[in-house]
Amino acid sequence: MTLAAAVIVAAGRGVRAGGHLPKQWQLLAGKPVLEHTLQAFTAHPDIGQVVLVVHPDDTQRVAALECDDITVVDGGADRAASVAFGLDAVAGASHVLIHDVARPLVTAATITAVLDALTTSPGAAPAVPVTDALWTGLDRQVTGTRDREGLYRAQTPQGFHLQAIRDAHAAHPGGAADDVEVARAHGLAVAIVPGDEDNLKITLPADFARAERILRGRDGH
């Protein structure tokens, strides 16, 4: 398989994470979250191009990053538009991985697993089976339970054959939760590969501390 491309979606504002900057620009172990995410893909031997989709207000910040050889494009009005702009910037690859910038702890093993699955499927994505009991609730009261059988927590990167996911985005009316939903609405099969509990998505302020603990554990400190 020829080298794949990666589209890193980093145009959101991430207000739930707190702080004075969007979460992707806040520091994690001394570097912006975004820099950790980029390095996971630029260092992977099967990734030939990394496209970074940023908010137009953040263009100047990109110049200070310690990541070379990335393609930078402005994002759109919503995530779907940003992904579409990123896909348009991919050149010379037949496969693409789409990744949320707020998942800076993605490993090379997860990236490889998604790419390997694309040899037999038009789409692939990592996911973790749901193991907790599931409740419904209203007004802070439990109102019922749900069967967890066959349920997964979706992660990124979500990988696709490039032209297939371009066509899927062009045909989709919008409002999808992620690119797997876009792909499946277009009739594409998506394989599940094992996810990683450490591949967390930084969403709330406490997630920064958890992510830093994981990074320290990987570094042996």
| pLDDT tens for each residue of 79-126 | 999 999 999 999 999 999 999 999 999 999 999 999 999 999 999 999
Alpha carbon distance 221, 219 (integer Å): 6
Three-point CA angle 205, 70, 42, nearest 5°: 70
- Inform me whether the pLDDT recorded for 15 exceeds 60: no
4-219 is a CATH 3.90.550.10 domain = yes
List Cβ neighbours of 26 (8 Å cut-off, separation of 6 or more).
Answer: 17, 19, 32, 33, 208
- Inform me whether the pLDDT recorded for 179 exceeds 70: yes
Reported pTM: 0.94
Element (H, E) at 7: strand 4-10
pLDDT for 221: 54
pLDDT for 59: 81
pLDDT for 19: 65
pLDDT for 220: 66
pLDDT for 1: 54
pLDDT for 14: 60
Rounded mean pLDDT of 126-137?
Answer: 97
Q: Beta-carbon neighbour count of residue 11 at 10 Å?
A: 27
pLDDT tens profile 154-168: 999 999 999 999 999
Element (H, E) at 38: helix 33-42
pLDDT tens profile 54-72: 999 888 888 877 677 899 9
Separation in Å, CA 46 to CA 7, 151, 153, 180, 206: 14, 30, 26, 22, 33
Strand, helix or coil at 41? helix
Rounded mean pLDDT of 115-140?
Answer: 98
pLDDT for 203: 93
pLDDT for 63: 80
Tell me the percentage of the chain whose pLDDT exceeds 90. 85
Separation in Å, CA 131 to CA 24, 69, 120, 148: 29, 40, 28, 7
Average model confidence (pLDDT) across the chain: 93
Tell me the percentage of the chain whose pLDDT exceeds 70. 95
The pLDDT confidence band at residue 24, using thresholds 50, 70 and 90, is very high
Spatial CA neighbour of 57 closest among 24, 19, 87: 24
Alpha carbon distance 18, 139 (integer Å): 25
Rounded mean pLDDT of 29-38?
Answer: 94
| Token reading at 112 | 């490889």
